[in-house]
Structure 1
Amino acid sequence: MKRASIKDIARIAEVSVATVSYVLNKKEGSRISEATKTRILDVAKSINYTPNKIAKSLKMNKTKLIGLIVADISNDFYSNIARNIEDEAMKLGYTLLIGSCDENPEKFKKLTELFSEQQVDGMIIAPVVDSDEAINKLIQEEYPIVTIDRYLKNVSLPGVMINNSEISEHICDHLVKKDFDEIIYVGYDTELPHLLDRQDGFDRRIAKSDISAKRILIGIHNITEEVHQKMQENLDLSKKTAIYFSSNKLGIAGLRYLIDHNISVPEQVSLVAFDETEAYYLFPTEVSFVQQPLYDMAKESVKLLDNQINNYTTNGKRVTFHAKFMERSSVK
């Protein structure tokens, strides 16, 4: 079946193509009567007219597509933020393409190339280790980019993040006041600045206390196995101990270890975990966690990208949101 066109509408409504174009594109300032507008819209509806988005994008030199590259779409944090970004993008008329690079810089690079080939108007990205080359190439091409959750040092890109260092300081202060014998920080062995900020915030505060502290650093692969092994080696139940898991994946792996070994929370060990995830609600004890403002972060990232698309600038604005500590029953 032949696709209905604005020429068909003009013929049936007995008006010019220009008049149809004015009405369908809702252009202001045209002296077209309400009766004519109504007739044109009725005809368009009756013949099932749909706009040719490809032709329109070529004319506007924009596709109204944006790309989102996350580190791991299976992570509740990224899947939830992707949904919020999609909703906000649609409000501005954009369609979202999503790619997950699985913390792999080569896959990250291929996704940037794929999105470029798809002629997306811009990208929201969560940089991974060794992704600098791919990102710098986009910057050199003046491609609109916005970072989310993560950032790069020495690169001025607009982006959205949280106060990682400050919230870790707050968590550490909270645990120090509980007078534990030992506090264990569980983080990643990584070069990613935002995760190092969490670690640095904890380190600065714990150094000012008299409490014994241990730092467990885990690789990004085989997380569950490494967390279980390190907890087996470092957790001393004869001491009053608290554990701070600096990501939801680390927290989930830690909770599995405690369940497998019948270690009760908070009676035998206290804990705090980063990010909110459905898995925490399956644990017998309500888990204290750090809540990130996902909706606000998503909304701001789309706003920043839309600004870059329509008015590109080399001076990036980085917006920092404040995370909240949600105290529950897992700390005694």
Structure 2
Amino acid sequence: MKYNQVTIKDIARELGISPSTVSRALKDHPDISPETKKAVNELAEKLNYQPNIVALSLRQSKTNTIGVIIPEIVHFFFSTVISGIEDVAYSAGYNVIITQSNESLQREKTDIKALFNSRVDGMLISLSRETSSFEHIDSILAKGVPMVFFDRVYDTPNASTIIVDDLSGAKEATQHLIDQGCTRIAHLEGPPNLGITKQRLEGYLEALKENNLPVIPELIVSCPLGTIEEGKLAAEKLLAMAQPPDGIFSTNDPAAMGAMQVIKDSGLKIPKDIAVVGFSNWFFSSLMDPPLTSVDQPGFEMGQEAAKLLIRQIEVKSKENIDPTPETKVLKTRLVVRNSSLKKGKK
């Protein structure tokens, strides 16, 4: 889809006034009536007009810089993604500006505006868990900025995405628990607005259905922050049931770690009494007691592929002056089996 930068002339033509009147209205000149100022500013906002003419003129030149917005730098998965991005970007002669939304929609809005004003050639974005509206993203897309979403993506036809097959990964994790003899498998569910949460829940449900196991709503516990503390609270809730689960598949590793701590503190054995599987394969997963089985996401590869795709789109736009066709690439997951899920006598 081709976007053109809105100019003062466009606003003037739409309102039937002169460009100079529009310019003065935007500058709040006292000679312009309040009614005209109101009309001009409302239309400028509607059309995503960028009043900084100097910045606009500078955007015509390539800066060889890409911007990255991630939810959390301390998250092991995202740190590996950053390494992959930098590996490709620096080799291609691009600098990288990294920002952190800290899982905040407002911070995400601030970051995307800051990157645009820094004149990056394109952006790589993974959404915050608070993001459920996308006007701030659509505004930048409308200005023709190449954009690639990774992991936590915005479902739009106007931008490319790099994702992992969360559904298949979750299904394999749940099937593994079933193969170990688990019949009452709980699921610790992640942030409700994220696509990865929905895909992991769907994979869990598909595995249950394909093995003729009942879907028990009480065994699906929400962990919207995905923290260790939420994992503890979820496990306490599950263990208080008349029939506790014999297996847990968690939407991420921190929640799984919290659940493991409560299970052990209650005197139960892992995996003999309750087998546990996480998702993301954090570095600390292998250091747990017992080591945590987890679905490995290829973070470094995701970063590489996202950077390659974005740079390719930037080059096409720069050399041919056309908007490249958005693409979607799906990467495979891998179940790393450790002792938290291997019941005695099971392979």
Aligned 8 A contact 1:70 1:100 in 2 = yes
Aligned residue number for residue 19 of structure 2: none
Aligned residue number for residue 123 of structure 1: 123
Q: TM-score, normalised by structure 1?
A: 0.76
Aligned 8 A contact 2:231 2:259 in 1 = yes
Task: Say which of 231, 242, 253 aligns to 1:227.
Answer: 231
Aligned residue number for residue 28 of structure 1: none
Aligned residue number for residue 148 of structure 1: 150
Q: Structure 1 295/250 Cα, relative in aligned 2: closer, same or farther at 3 Å?
A: same
- The runs of 5 or more residues in structure 2 that have no matched partner are 1-57, 318-322
Q: Which amino acid aligns with 1:106?
A: Q
Q: Equivalent residue of 1:289, what SS?
A: strand
Q: Equivalent residue of 1:268, what SS?
A: coil
Aligned residue number for residue 176 of structure 2: 174
RMSD of aligned residue pairs (Cα, Å): 2.3
Check if 1:218 corresponds to 2:256: no
Q: TM-score, normalised by structure 2?
A: 0.73
Check if 1:203 corresponds to 2:189: no
Aligned residue number for residue 51 of structure 2: none
Aligned 8 A contact 2:238 2:244 in 1 = no
Aligned 8 A contact 2:125 2:150 in 1 = yes
Q: Structure 1 96/260 Cα, relative in aligned 2: closer, same or farther at 3 Å?
A: farther
Aligned residue number for residue 136 of structure 2: 134
**In 2, Cα distance between equivalents of 1:279 and 1:251:** 12
Aligned residue number for residue 257 of structure 1: 262
Aligned residue number for residue 72 of structure 2: 72
Aligned residue number for residue 10 of structure 1: none
- How far the C-alpha of 1:131 sits from its partner, in A, is 4.8
Aligned 8 A contact 1:237 1:268 in 2 = no
Shifted more, 61-70 versus 128-137: the winner is 128-137
Task: Say which of 274, 279, 285 aligns to 1:269.
Answer: 274
- How far the C-alpha of 1:144 sits from its partner, in A, is 0.9
Deviations, residues 149-183 of structure 1 (Å, cap 9, x unaligned)? 12222444212111111121222222222332310
- How far the C-alpha of 1:219 sits from its partner, in A, is 2.1
- How far the C-alpha of 1:215 sits from its partner, in A, is 0.5
Deviations, residues 35-94 of structure 1 (Å, cap 9, x unaligned)? xxxxxxxxxxxxxxxxxxxxxxx7992222111100111211111211221122111111
Deviations, residues 86-137 of structure 1 (Å, cap 9, x unaligned)? 1221111111111110221111010011111111111100023235111111
Q: Equivalent residue of 1:207, what SS?
A: helix
**In 1, Cα distance between equivalents of 2:136 and 2:267:** 46
Quote the sequence identity (%).
Answer: 21
Q: Which amino acid aligns with 1:246?
A: T
Check if 1:188 corresponds to 2:190: yes
- The runs of 5 or more residues in structure 1 that have no matched partner are 1-57
Aligned 8 A contact 1:146 1:304 in 2 = yes
Q: Equivalent residue of 2:269, what SS?
A: coil
